[in-house]
Structure 1
Amino acid sequence: MSKFSPLHSIDRRSFIALGAGGLSALLVACGGTDAPVSTSTPTPSPSPTQPPKLTNSEWKRLGQNLKGELVRPDSSKYETARQLFNPRFDGIKPAGIAYCTSVDDVKTCLSFAKRFNLPFTPRSGGHSYAGYSTGTGLIIDMTRVNKIDVNAGGGTATIGGGARLIDVYSALTDQGVIMPAGSCPTVGVAGLTMGGGIGVLGRKYGLTCDNLLSAQVVLADGRVVTCDENSEPDLFWGLRGGGGGNFGVVTSFTFKVQPLTSVTLFTLGWAWEHAADAFDAWQNWAPQAPDEVWSNFLFLADKNSGPLARVNGVYVGDEAGANAQLQQLINQIGIAPTSNSVFQSGVLDAMLYEAGCYGKSVEQCRLPSMDPQGQIQREIDIAKSHYFSNKLPRAGIDALVNAINQRQNNGSFVGGGIGIDAYGGVINRVAKDATAFAHRDALFAAQYTATYEPGDADDLVAANRSWLKDTWQAMNQHANGTAYQNYIDPDLDNWQQAYYGDNLARLKHVKASYDPNNFFHFAQSIPPAK
């Protein structure tokens, strides 16, 4: 068995973060784009009277009515409580953060917001790319609604709406099972699921939302409903890819889980001069590979080593099977990789690696605010995305290479790059209208990410933004006008069509049925049908 060297490890959170894919992995990057959000007032039911005045005594009463904890600006806990993962949004100061511990707490908070016409924002992991997880009013924080019950024999797991992925993976793998989800360890299961849920097991087991069996939801009118294929089926449909924050607050999810104890991880690198040829071979291999193979192609700028062309991935099977598949890729490229690491791993260790936590414990793979042992650090990322349903022509591949060359040549830039995640497999065998997630014909998805440090000069921030915009525009002609809703982009003009495609009309009708007065809304929320 070839030995894995930490030198090949990539902290994918820093360049893409698939989410999934990812950063996820880079699938889901752990960062986000900046935009002022959640500062508008809720849209209440029509009323002939003005809302009562919101006083400190009313806030105090709210705190007394919660089983959880209310943190206000005068609390020593406030500065930490108001933070999202991305420091770009630290300037937004909520009036209060309610740490809910029960369904009743959520109902109490929604009633409070409605009574006083107060802006409110549900928050789970706090990873919204556009900062939609915070606002100036009441934050309904779900992170203490995080119980995880695993029924390995029955093939299900019921997970609280505020659970984080690292804790989900820990609980599942402890019972020898797994479900497909993202890679960023501190992402909340709620936003991930409702936006789709890209991950390294997706080609084998589908998206996170494809494995959802039922959900408990607190609606705008205070009702608590459980939806599945037979009960409230339209709401259940909308929660599977319609995006978070649109229809209600989900307090628990029940998922299908699969027995799995080990996988094989791989990472291969090629000299930068061969990046274009390597990608061209990869795009002809990865989307059509067996379901067991998930991979992404990474174009990365690196000040120390120079630009990198790399294929990372996960194979659901043993090392021999992975090597057989990878040899097909190497043969197509016709050039031996300069680095090649393939190693079998327990599933939890694999997820720690994908999270950028190789060599760390589960406790260390949390934020310090989540766990005293936590070593995950908040970071600034800005990102944009594309889906591609056709292979890239050479001009498109050259645009990717040129974008990294430009980033590499700017000595002021740190981190950043392009991560391209393979689709196909089980993901693409689901009909476009079977769930709200419409991107079922994609060959792969790209995420372009720029990173910089808190306190960087305005001109450096502007340069990162310019690089990101230019890269996206250069690739837009090769894309099909779609984007991943969990890589939510406040600068995207056609976001409704880009995120939801032909499913948009039905989503608007679901919204009209369950939230006709648009109580749950933000800058890119689904509007009710008129």
Structure 2
Amino acid sequence: MFPLVLSILAGIAAPAAAAAGPSACSNITTQLGSSKVSSNLLSQEYSNSLEYWNALLDDYKPSCVVYPKNAQDVSVMVQAIRAADSRFAIKAGGHNPNTFYSCVDNGVLLDLSDMTEKSYDPHTTLATFQPGGVFGDIYDYFVKYNRTVVGARLAGVGTGLALGGGMSYLSPQYGLACDSFRELEIVLPSGEIVTASEDSNPDLFFASRGGGGNAYGVVTKYTVQSRPVGQFYAGNLIFPFPQKDKVIEAIGNFIKYNTDPKAAIIGTYEKLGTPDLNLNLDEAIIMFLVYDGEDSGDAFKNFTSIPTILNTMSLKTYPEVVNMPIPLSTELSRGANMFRVGVHRPENCSYENALDVWRNWAESNKGRYELLSLDFQPVPKSLTDASKAQGGNAMQMPDGPWYWLNYLLTTPPGMSEPDYKAVQASYRDMIKSVGNAEGLPLFINDANHDQNPLQTFSTFAKLQEIKKTYDPDNFFADRTGGWSFA
């Protein structure tokens, strides 16, 4: 899918600079050995590293893929990349759909998948894990201690999600994933290995809690506050689309009035690109309802009182919760995926208006998409209170309630470049027409590159200064993709 054109548009360096990739790969191989470097395009190891949730990114071919085991390996790689002046990318789970955020063409790909060490300290209840693997693996490890960590709501999402904030089913109780950070091991753009915490490099620690991902260095180890975990009353409710008005009213009431921090929801409206034949066969509503405990009381009554097509509510373990609606849902949903995000206060944005604008676009653009999804993600006051109680994150989140809207667009395979650009632009303009609330941050995890989410943070100027401190010559900014600090 037109990788060369996209590479040019994204500012890939001229041929002389492109030779820097092989040079960096050669230096890394000399220092770390060939067992940690793959440059064979036909090898299974290399191919596995080039699988992304946005399948369009699979087309980009790094000069080599490097598989570090620890911070020392990453330090060697960063210094070799800097010496060669090569482009590079850092990949954990590969779920971010933005071009060059975790993929690279003619450069070095740091695949963190071999960094999977984990530990639990029962005396401090702190959990430690490296950035490789996905959150499902991490949940499976800590559940044997009857503990978990605040992380992704889908098992197949990688740990990089936490650096962008990280919304969890546990967030109404404990804040975002980044709020649970207690200490981070980070390899700086200079290659220096440092610790970031409230006591050591506190500015770096602040910025790393939701302030731009691996923009300040490569995070090679997380130490986080673990949380107790038991049985959950959870499941999916699937509604026929004619119930859309009742469901959107229930979502709005939950956002505005729910005060039980153990209750969490995602409200998703799904639209297929196939004709509906006037039978609404192309659309459905899927609610994700999760209660931390065996009895949810009346927390979900407004949803369960509406007639459903399917109700899977039951007692579940946390690993079962993050595999809703089916196991491997992240992997199975691979495609030409792209996110955009909106943010709204319940009193200033009509839920119905956002839904109607989105649905009207969907009806007018049949055949230009495979799947659309509009997800309502509440940010209750209990979440923002929990964040502030732990020192706050890089967003310095205003008091809830408010909510994020996630807009997913999956385009058909084999789409031409002009058609792809046109549908992306049209979708962007539709979302812009809904508007956003003033004074609220866009959610980095769901943002498109052109939305510049950092600029919506009240702390943006502070983050710019921290970025200058730890990446003074803009090496990370110029040689890898990521959010703009300009």
Whether the TM-score (by the shorter chain) exceeds 0.5 is: yes
Counterpart of 1:348 in structure 2 is 319
Counterpart of 2:150 in structure 1 is 180
Counterpart of 1:444 in structure 2 is 403
**1:170 corresponds to which letter in structure 2?**
D
1:497 equivalenced with 2:455 (yes/no): yes
For residue 403 of structure 1, the aligned residue among 340, 352, 358 is 358
Is the CA contact 1:193–1:241 (under 8 Å) kept in the aligned structure 2?
A: yes
Distance change (3 Å), C-alpha of 1:214 and 1:404: same
Is the CA contact 2:49–2:111 (under 8 Å) kept in the aligned structure 1?
A: no
TM-score (norm 2): 0.85
CA RMSD between the two structures:
3.1
Q: Deviations over 1:350-398 (max 9, x none)?
A: 12225x31xxxxxxx499xxxxxxx75632212210111233554x513
**Structure 1 residues 45-444: aligned runs within 5 Å:** 59-66=25-32, 69-73=36-40, 76-77=43-44, 78-131=46-99, 132-136=101-105, 137-189=107-159, 191-289=160-258, 290-302=260-272, 303=274, 305-318=281-294, 321-328=295-302, 336-337=307-308, 339-353=310-324, 356-357=326-327, 365=328, 376=332, 378-391=334-347, 393-394=349-350, 397-407=352-362, 411-412=366-367, 413-429=369-385, 430-431=387-388, 434-441=392-399, 443-444=402-403
For residue 474 of structure 1, the aligned residue among 433, 436, 443 is 433
Is the CA contact 2:398–2:440 (under 8 Å) kept in the aligned structure 1?
A: no
For residue 514 of structure 1, the aligned residue among 467, 470, 473 is 470
Displacement of 1:294 in angstroms is 0.5
**1:203 corresponds to which letter in structure 2?**
P
Indicate the structure whose relative CO is greater, using CA pairs within 8 Å and at least 6 residues apart: 1
CA distance in 2, matches of 1:510, 1:414: 41
TM-score (norm 1): 0.78
Q: Deviations over 1:158-178 (max 9, x none)?
A: 100223111111111122111
Is the CA contact 1:288–1:425 (under 8 Å) kept in the aligned structure 2?
A: no
**1:491 corresponds to which letter in structure 2?**
D
> Which stretches in structure 1 are left out of the alignment for 5+ residues?
1-33, 42-49, 358-364, 368-374
Distance change (3 Å), C-alpha of 1:311 and 1:392: farther
Counterpart of 1:44 in structure 2 is none
Is the CA contact 2:21–2:108 (under 8 Å) kept in the aligned structure 1?
A: no
CA distance in 1, matches of 2:334, 2:310: 30
Is the CA contact 1:71–1:97 (under 8 Å) kept in the aligned structure 2?
A: yes
Percent identity between matched residues is 20
Q: Deviations over 1:433-486 (max 9, x none)?
A: 832024444511101111134324557645642552243123216676742112
Q: How many residues align?
A: 461
Distance change (3 Å), C-alpha of 1:336 and 1:93: closer
**1:315 corresponds to which letter in structure 2?**
Y
Q: Deviations over 1:53-98 (max 9, x none)?
A: 8596874442132165111155524343334332212332211111
SS of the residue 1:255 aligns to? strand
CA distance in 1, matches of 2:21, 2:418: 42
Is the CA contact 1:169–1:351 (under 8 Å) kept in the aligned structure 2?
A: no
Counterpart of 1:25 in structure 2 is none
CA distance in 2, matches of 1:86, 1:174: 33
CA distance in 2, matches of 1:227, 1:175: 26
Counterpart of 1:30 in structure 2 is none
Distance change (3 Å), C-alpha of 1:392 and 1:115: same
CA distance in 1, matches of 2:21, 2:62: 15
**2:442 corresponds to which letter in structure 1?**
A
SS of the residue 2:376 aligns to? strand
